[in-house]
Amino acid sequence: MSTDPSDLTEETIFTWGAPPLKFGAGAVDEIGFEMTQFNVKRVLIITDSKINATGIPQRIADSLSAHGIRSEIFDGVHVEPTDDSMDKAAGYAREQGPWDGFVAVGGGSSIDTAKAVNLITTDGGELMDYINKPIGKATAPRGQLKPLIAVPTTAGTGSESTAMCVLDVLSMKVKTGISHWRLRPTLAVIDPMLTMTLPPEVTAAAGMDIVCHALESYTARWYETFDRKRPEERVTYCGSNPVSDLWCERAMTLLAESFRTAVHDGSDLRARSNMMLAATFAGMGFGNSGVHIPHANAYPIAGMVKDYRPAGYPQDEPMVPHGQSVSLTAPEAFRFSFESEPRRHLRAAELLAPDEDKQNEPSEQLPAALTHLMRDIGIPNGIGGVGYTEDDIPDLVPGTMKQQRLLATCPRPVTEDDIADIFAKSVTNW
């Protein structure tokens, strides 16, 4: 190997980042103190109406005012945000601003909305300027954003530690995102007590998001197999790497211990706490390495929803929650990716389901562990369970193929026929 870096064509570098964390029961009441460290006077708390009704945002406002910081609560976040809902939130923040900082309190929907509000109100411009190509212009923010403290109330997305936000672009019927390291929250305050009121259906779906983050990150293409990037070309996702792997392995062990209990007995604080740790750990993994086929398939599954209305979620419009949409094709996707990295798939199955009877066929171990888990916690049975039939597959496939950024992280090249086959074999999973 040449010792002159400019001669190298293969990648030799990976990057890894995460915000500082404050974790544990009661952490939410220290937000006022934490905000004083950023020298702010006026803060916008961003949440959704259901979470606002729990009183948690007001508790945060009280903690801020105890430290001399004024705040207001905006509770207009749309569950699974859209360009329209993010624009409305940013419009409110602009009209009522300026703000010196933000607190996002809620699931991925609230945290992602707060990231977008911070970006647009601090850096200027429109959402489309920043949305990933080819849908938007993928412009990089010009400067540092305002302090954003992220306070998750679901154990799932890991959005409190990632550098991206996800949204539906309504006019194009596509889900897409904005990713840039400046979007990463300044601090993550993670208090497992906040998840005690989560309904079992949200616990199950958000938990499957953790499972898929950990598994997809762990089986993602290894960072050294990509073409070499120049420093200014480096992206937030660089493929699986030694640091992300550690977090993902540990997330899987926590999931094995606590996921079923958290769904079936939501009052079990230890299980809730382990799930919150697992979500954070998986976020520190996939937030740097990336995700692949199950998440790419989730975009059209959620974006083209017909009339499915899941229990535990708002009933005013049809939706497939993110955690359900990512899990429905996961067993088949990991059957497909098995041959590229058998040892990692087997290790993941062992960590996630150490007590599972081993299948004779090695490629079946991980899919079997997943389907047994999904049956036990009440996840719909395949894409058929959320209203799709075989006839919908030709319409779903192009939606996946548009997610080239994610498919490039798959450890094996993926064609349209491969994706059609994965959907066809995922109409039912058991």
Ligand X SMILES: NC(=O)c1ccc[n+]([C@@H]2O[C@H](COP(=O)([O-])OP(=O)(O)OC[C@H]3O[C@@H](n4cnc5c(N)ncnc54)[C@H](O)[C@@H]3O)[C@@H](O)[C@H]2O)c1
Taking the C-alpha atoms of residue 359 and residue 201, their distance in angstroms, rounded to an integer, is 29
Looking up tokens 């597959």 gives 393
Residue 153 interacting entry, from Zn ion, ligand X, none, C-beta within 5 to 8 Å by type:
ligand X
User: Considering only 49-57, 171-179, 202-210, 235-243, which stretch makes contact with Zn ion by CB under 5 A?
Assistant: 202-210
Q: Does 112 bind Zn ion (CB under 5 A)?
A: no
User: Considering only 43-51, 126-134, 203-211, 411-419, which stretch makes contact with Zn ion by CB under 5 A?
Assistant: 203-211
Taking the C-alpha atoms of residue 136 and residue 140, their distance in angstroms, rounded to an integer, is 12
- 239: alpha, beta or left, given left = phi > 0 and alpha = psi -120 to 50? left
Q: Which residue intervals of 240-268 are DSSP H helices?
A: 242-264
Q: What angle do CA 384, 354, 294 make, to 5 degrees?
A: 30
Least distance from C-beta 54 to ligand X, angstroms? 6
Residue 136 interacting entry, from Zn ion, ligand X, none, C-beta within 5 to 8 Å by type:
none
Question: What would you measure as the largest C-alpha separation in the chain, in angstroms?
Answer: 63
Least distance from C-beta 351 to Zn ion, angstroms? 19
Least distance from C-beta 322 to ligand X, angstroms? 4
Angle between helices 242-264 and 365-377 (to 10 degrees): 30
Judge contact between 212 and 284, C-beta under 8 A.
no
- Interface residue with Zn ion, options 209, 216, 245, 392 (CB under 5 A): 209
Closer residue to ligand X in complex, CB, 81/147: 81
Taking the C-alpha atoms of residue 24 and residue 380, their distance in angstroms, rounded to an integer, is 32
Closer residue to Zn ion in complex, CB, 147/303: 303
- Cβ-closest position to Zn ion: 209
| Residue 178 token pair | 């904005």
Angle between helices 416-424 and 393-401 (to 10 degrees): 130
Closer residue to ligand X in complex, CB, 168/332: 168
Judge contact between 68 and 35, C-beta under 8 A.
no
Closer residue to ligand X in complex, CB, 46/351: 46
Positions touching ligand X (CB under 6 A) are 48, 50-51, 54, 79-81, 106-110, 112, 153-154, 156-159, 162, 164-166, 194-195, 197-198, 202, 206, 209, 313-314, 322-323
Least distance from C-beta 4 to ligand X, angstroms? 37
Least distance from C-beta 66 to ligand X, angstroms? 23
Closer residue to Zn ion in complex, CB, 63/244: 244
The contact set with Zn ion (CB under 5 A) reads 209
